[in-house]
């Protein structure tokens, strides 16, 4: 460890992750006159899922949008486990955040990341890039900063901060399609290790892609930069047989033996083909669907750190979270409408930045003790000391093999989930501690792989626990909603003995659907085998 440098940085507010949530959090914290540092594994403003964004949904009163319509649409679509407070936040703030992006010059350009970076510089926000943070630092029961390493030189980086905003996004298991490969649930990993509850893990997002263009998702693919970000309209209440948001239909078909499933080639995004668009000519006709390119990712805004209030606070004093790192349950169990993800992250980031600044203004910087830093530093760099063991690349492949098949996270059943869990437990207990890294690039992969394995365990345990079907969580063995038991969120946290604990937390009484409304009317979307199952157990 002698050749590893130690860099210490102090700030008022630390923002972890430089996607759209992080950018808005940092900008708003800086606007309060505080010193702000942003840390990103790659580059701020060009980070996480933000680089794939193309739509922004705003609440537009002038266009006749009504809050009650939005609530109705999202609740019905999300199977009533959406968080209405966070939808109110979006209704209140989304138009203002769109206006910010317009003023920053981020709209109508194929290089909106550049505009975001310009704004970061204009607000005099310091950036620490190509740096992966691995652990939160906690002193006296409150967050005191975070620690990690540079991927460019052997340098351990400890940041002391009065408040921290977690904007590290969600993740996938390095999927082949809808490539979100730099997203590895790092924020959830850090928060879980710090003892915080994590939720929303059982709801799977498909984001289907095709064989010819694995990078293609929603018709945007690798020409997505053409239209830039476009404004989208209100969420629609789903009609029977027609679903807004993403669907499990291809998985049902595959499960019936109707594979391969095909999908049409990319069409250039919501605005139609982009000038220069040539894929149609290259690959005419439908292509074989790969299934969920984003395998491992949850419904946007579902998985993440459990909020402790209506303003992006968490159970750890001084720690705030926003965007896909926060289990805001903005959409509930199923994605609500095009543009909810990007707009939701912007809105939450802005609020979290203010809340963190308010907290930091009333807090003194806590000295981070050497006794906290030294063991973490050793743990971070320990894979570099080992010359044998398991590679992160191979371990990630084994993780993919355990988690990618459609019959694990999409069409679920207890025996298969338990089988996958046995595999993941082995990777967690046997392989993760023996991962080795030849260089700092591989060290990043090692820590990412560990976060992916931890997340896989959360997803499987949450899926086993929720013995019903709801939103994008479909259990073949329990193919209907069970309102008596599961109008609730499933929380996982690290128990005192280090083992993962699972529990449910009921949705507030006044957010539940009226018992006077029939089951079929309450729940518009039908799962395969649902009505037969309800008849069998005497519910209808």
Partner 1 sequence: MTIEKIEGCNGCKACFDVCPMDVIRMNEESGLAEIRYPQDCQVCNLCVVFCPVDAITLNKEKYRPLMTAWG
Residues that bind partner 1 (CB under 8 A): 41-43, 46-48, 51-52, 110-111, 113-114, 130, 151, 176, 179-182, 212-215, 222, 224-225, 390-391, 393-395, 397-398, 401, 441, 444-445
Contact 291, 268 (CB under 8 A): no
> Between residues 230 and 398, which has the closer beta carbon with respect to partner 1?
398
> Between residues 50 and 336, which has the closer beta carbon with respect to partner 1?
50
b/e code 395-427 from CB counts within 10 Å (16+ = b) = bbebbbebbbebebbbbbbeebbeebbebbeeb
Closest approach, Cβ 422 to partner 1, in A, equals 18
Closest approach, Cβ 278 to partner 1, in A, equals 12
Q: What is the largest CA-CA distance in the chain?
A: 69
Closest approach, Cβ 336 to partner 1, in A, equals 25
Tokens matching residue 327: 């289990």
The full 3-state SS of 47-73, as one line of letters, equals CHHHHHCCEEECCCHHHCCCHHHHHHH
Closest approach, Cβ 151 to partner 1, in A, equals 6
What Cα–Cα distance (Å) separates residue 234 from each residue in 52, 94, 335? 21, 12, 13
How far apart are the C-alpha atoms of 351 and 323, rounded to whole Å?
Answer: 11
Closest approach, Cβ 16 to partner 1, in A, equals 15
Closest approach, Cβ 291 to partner 1, in A, equals 14
Tokens matching residue 42: 């790659």
> Between residues 256 and 282, which has the closer beta carbon with respect to partner 1?
282
Closest approach, Cβ 132 to partner 1, in A, equals 10
Closest approach, Cβ 298 to partner 1, in A, equals 19
How far apart are the C-alpha atoms of 286 and 246, rounded to whole Å?
Answer: 19
> Between residues 7 and 181, which has the closer beta carbon with respect to partner 1?
181
Closest approach, Cβ 215 to partner 1, in A, equals 4
Rg of the chain (C-alpha set): 22
Q: Where are the beta strands (DSSP E) in 20-141?
A: 36-39, 55-57, 126-128, 131-139
What Cα–Cα distance (Å) separates residue 401 from each residue in 148, 183, 425, 428? 29, 18, 14, 15
> Between residues 113 and 339, which has the closer beta carbon with respect to partner 1?
113
Q: Are strands 287-292 and 262-263 parallel, antiparallel or unpaired?
A: antiparallel
DSSP code of 218? Answer: T
b/e code 202-235 from CB counts within 10 Å (16+ = b) = bbbbbbbbbbbbbbbbbbbbebbbbbbbebbebb
42: Cα separation from own chain's centroid: 17
Closest approach, Cβ 129 to partner 1, in A, equals 9
Query: What is the DSSP track for 492-510?
Result: EEE-TTS-EEEEEEEPPGG
Closest approach, Cβ 459 to partner 1, in A, equals 21
> Between residues 262 and 401, which has the closer beta carbon with respect to partner 1?
401
Residue 269 neighbours by CB distance under 10 Å: 22
How far apart are the C-alpha atoms of 73 and 77, rounded to whole Å?
Answer: 6
């Amino acid at each position: 460890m002698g050749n590893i440098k130690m860099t210490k940085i102090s700030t008022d507010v630390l923002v972890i992750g430089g996607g759209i949530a992080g950018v808005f959090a940092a900008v708003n914290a800086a606007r309060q006159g505080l010193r702000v540092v942003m840390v990103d594994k790659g580059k701020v403003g060009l980070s996480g899922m933000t680089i794939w964004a193309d739509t922004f949904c705003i609440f537009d009163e002038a266009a006749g949008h009504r809050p009650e319509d939005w609530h109705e649409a999202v609740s019905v679509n999300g199977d009533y486990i959406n968080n209405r407070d966070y939808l109110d936040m979006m209704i209140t703030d989304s138009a203002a955040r769109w206006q910010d992006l317009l003023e920053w010059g981020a709209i109508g350009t194929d290089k909106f990341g550049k505009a975001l970076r310009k704004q970061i510089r204009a607000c005099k926000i310091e950036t620490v890039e190509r740096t992966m943070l691995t652990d939160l630092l906690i002193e006296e029961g409150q967050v005191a900063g975070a620690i990690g390493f540079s991927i460019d030189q052997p340098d351990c980086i400890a940041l002391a901060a009065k408040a921290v905003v977690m904007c590290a996004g969600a993740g996938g298991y390095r999927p082949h399609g809808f490539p979100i490969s730099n997203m590895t649930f790092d924020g959830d990993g850090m928060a879980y290790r710090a003892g915080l509850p994590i939720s929303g893990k059982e709801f799977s997002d498909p984001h289907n892609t095709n064989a010819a263009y694995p990078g293609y998702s929603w018709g945007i693919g690798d020409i997505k930069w053409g239209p830039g970000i476009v404004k989208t309209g209100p969420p629609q209440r789903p009609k029977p047989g027609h679903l807004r948001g993403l669907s499990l239909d291809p998985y049902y078909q595959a499960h019936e033996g109707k594979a391969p499933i095909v999908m049409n080639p990319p069409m250039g995004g919501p605005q139609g083909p982009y000038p220069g668009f040539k894929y149609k000519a290259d690959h005419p006709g439908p292509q074989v669907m790969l299934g969920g390119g984003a395998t491992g990712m949850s419904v946007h805004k579902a998985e993440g750190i459990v909020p402790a209030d209506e303003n992006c606070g968490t159970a750890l004093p001084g720690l705030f979270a926003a965007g896909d790192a926060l289990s805001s349950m903005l959409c509930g169990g199923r994605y609500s409408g095009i543009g909810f993800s990007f707009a939701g992250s912007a809105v939450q980031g802005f609020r979290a930045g203010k809340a963190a600044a308010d907290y930091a203004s009333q807090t003194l910087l806590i000295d981070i003790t050497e006794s906290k830093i030294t063991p973490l530093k050793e743990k971070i760099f320990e894979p570099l000391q080992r010359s044998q063991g398991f590679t992160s690349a191979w371990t990630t492949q084994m993780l993919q093999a355990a988690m990618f098949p459609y019959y694990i996270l999409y069409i679920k059943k207890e025996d298969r989930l338990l089988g996958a869990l046995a595999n993941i437990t082995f990777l967690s207990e046997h392989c993760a501690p023996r991962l080795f890294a030849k260089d700092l690039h591989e060290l990043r992969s090692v820590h990412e792989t560990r976060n992916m394995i931890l997340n896989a365990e959360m997803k499987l345990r949450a899926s086993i626990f929720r013995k019903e079907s709801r939103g994008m969580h479909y259990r073949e063995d329990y193919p209907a909603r069970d309102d008596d038991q599961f109008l609730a969120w499933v929380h996982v946290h690290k128990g005192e003995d280090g083992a993962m604990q699972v529990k449910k937390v009921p949705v507030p009484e006044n957010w539940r659907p009226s018992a006077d409304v029939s089951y079929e009317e309450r729940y518009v979307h039908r799962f395969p085998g649902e009505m037969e199952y309800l008849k069998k157990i005497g519910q209808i």
